[in-house]
Structure 1
Amino acid sequence: MIKRAGSASFWAFVTVSSILLFPIAVVIWATTVLFDRRLVLLHRFTCFWASLYTWLNPVWSVTVDGRDKIRRGTTYVMVANHLSLLDILVMFRLFRHFKWVSKIENFRVPFIGWNMRLNRYIPLRRGDRESVIEMMAACERTLGEGSSIMMFPEGTRSSTGELRPFKPGAFELALATQTPILPIVITGTSEALPKRGFVLQGRHPIRIRVLDPIPYEEFAHLSIDALTEHVRSLIAAELGDPGDEPRS
């Protein structure tokens, strides 16, 4: 009962705060869009908005290691493992500029999804080849404009906590645009908020680890499949995952 009451309070806070903060996002967008073409200020406000939910939740202790590895002014294809809905919130704790690639359903969520559209994050309709082509083209344009891309190459949250096979899209993008790859490892979110359900699970430490960037020169000679498996193995090693989950 305590967990359910706490969870209900949390989601109520998310709802009320989103209603209050979205108009501020609109004002920031309207007053900066003409001179801030990458919407850096709006994204920074969105980082603050999302971070409120981990800052103010006493049972979530979030540690960010390696933020200094993200060099300002450098564009990356950023990839992270995916365990929980909470991953999206904690990744904003990086307070670095990027554009999310996210399933199109998230863009339909009132206030939060509308803010995603204001930020020009990139939607993807799962299972739709045409949508994948449009997403890749949008990512190439975004990288060309100087904004990093953030993707979960597993495609969906792991239900077991084990690292799933990676889809190749992020790595095709890095090779095609000669953009360095930035691997990021998330731990603790699946215990705090499991994939199935919305009940918060008590006190669990959450950690984000930014690994060393991989310059284009280090993977230019690799095939897409080899690059995909190489980056997956780096993240699996940090997770202590044997990396032997069969490809589906």
Structure 2
Amino acid sequence: MSLLLMNLIQYPLLIGWTVFCVLLAFPLFHLWRLVTGWELDRVARMFIWFYGRVWMEFLRPFGRVRKEGLQKERVPTPCVFVANHLSFFDVYCMGTLPVTNFSIVVRAWPFKMWFYAPFMRAAKYLNSEQLDQDEFMAQCRDVIDRGGSILFFPEGHRSRDGELGRFYSGAFKVALDNDVPIVPLAISGTDKLLPRGQWAMRPAEIVVEGLEPVYPRQFMHEDVPHLAMRKYVKQAIAAARKRR
């Protein structure tokens, strides 16, 4: 009964909140720009963060959303966030982060969702499948040079079995090329909230844990620094998730 009630409540809330944001976002974007003087991409990132943050509050009657190690003073910025990927809702849970000015690296398909795509373009999210390597690195550098951070899901897709998949190297090359730290994020519980390939949400406890920052200088003595950093970060996330 609680499962049915959760879905009867959560999906209408999510749809209603999405429609509300779509209708009012761009007027609010421009108002916020006038008040703060921020550039449009930073404003869009802040509103997307707020969208996810509010949705997590909707979840509270059916599950606890908890963050650990994500106090603002523990997160150096700009940085590269690296998170494991379990569910469609992982992106919403980035509302737990103590900063709002971050661009997310996504694959091509979300840009085909008409109700999300304009906001992702406004926020200058990075399409990992349509940009060549030079364009991709240049756009990452532009975000970082203007004080923003980058968020990667280095597995490239949601886990099929809850275990960590192969990590791709893009996040680690960006961190090294721009001399910014990586902040690993260990996510658990979102695969129970919405398992891959299913539409029915289930009550779950979700935890987003921020781990100790990892600095490029720690790996400069290695033969291939980005590979050594990739291995270290993957092991750190795996160890954090094993504690759950």
Does the alignment pair 1:75 with 2:78?
yes
Q: 1: CA distance between counterparts of 2:174 and 2:31?
A: 32
Q: 1: CA distance between counterparts of 2:120 and 2:128?
A: 13
Q: Unpaired segments of 5 or more residues in structure 2?
A: none
Q: Cα distance, 1:215 vs. partner?
A: 2.2
- Verify the 8 A CA contact 1:153 1:166 in the aligned structure 2: yes
Q: Cα distance, 1:42 vs. partner?
A: 3.4
Does the alignment pair 1:116 with 2:120?
yes
Q: Cα distance, 1:11 vs. partner?
A: 2.7
CA pair 12-185 structure 1, distance change in 2 beyond 3 A: same
Q: 2: CA distance between counterparts of 1:208 and 1:70?
A: 17
Q: 2: CA distance between counterparts of 1:9 and 1:112?
A: 22
Does the alignment pair 1:17 with 2:20?
no
Aligned sequence identity (%): 29
CA pair 50-164 structure 1, distance change in 2 beyond 3 A: same
Q: 1: CA distance between counterparts of 2:240 and 2:75?
A: 25
- Verify the 8 A CA contact 1:154 1:165 in the aligned structure 2: yes
The one-character-per-residue Cα deviations of 1:68-103 (angstroms, maximum 9, x if unpaired) are 255577200110111111111111221412111112
Q: CA RMSD in A?
A: 2.3
CA pair 72-41 structure 1, distance change in 2 beyond 3 A: farther
Match of 2:234 in 1: 232
Does the alignment pair 1:218 with 2:218?
yes
Match of 2:66 in 1: 63
When the two structures are superposed, what TM-score results if normalisation uses the length of structure 1?
0.85
The worse-fitting range, judged by mean Cα deviation, of 181-190 and 73-82 is 73-82
- Verify the 8 A CA contact 1:77 1:181 in the aligned structure 2: yes
Q: Cα distance, 1:123 vs. partner?
A: 1.9
The worse-fitting range, judged by mean Cα deviation, of 15-24 and 29-38 is 29-38
Does the alignment pair 1:156 with 2:157?
yes
Does the alignment pair 1:26 with 2:31?
no
CA pair 43-113 structure 1, distance change in 2 beyond 3 A: same
Does the alignment pair 1:92 with 2:95?
yes
Q: 2: CA distance between counterparts of 1:195 and 1:167?
A: 21
When the two structures are superposed, what TM-score results if normalisation uses the length of structure 2?
0.87
Q: 2: CA distance between counterparts of 1:75 and 1:165?
A: 25
Q: Report the 3-state secondary structure (helix = DSSP H, G, I; strand = E; otherwise coil) of the residue aligned with 2:71.
A: helix
Q: Cα distance, 1:115 vs. partner?
A: 1.6
- Verify the 8 A CA contact 1:168 1:228 in the aligned structure 2: yes
Supply the AA of the counterpart residue of 1:215: Y
Q: Cα distance, 1:13 vs. partner?
A: 2.6
Q: 1: CA distance between counterparts of 2:172 and 2:206?
A: 27
Q: Report the 3-state secondary structure (helix = DSSP H, G, I; strand = E; otherwise coil) of the residue aligned with 1:63.
A: strand
Q: 1: CA distance between counterparts of 2:33 and 2:54?
A: 24
CA pair 72-184 structure 1, distance change in 2 beyond 3 A: closer
CA pair 38-118 structure 1, distance change in 2 beyond 3 A: closer
Q: Unpaired segments of 5 or more residues in structure 1?
A: 242-248
- Verify the 8 A CA contact 1:42 1:119 in the aligned structure 2: yes
Match of 1:246 in 2: none
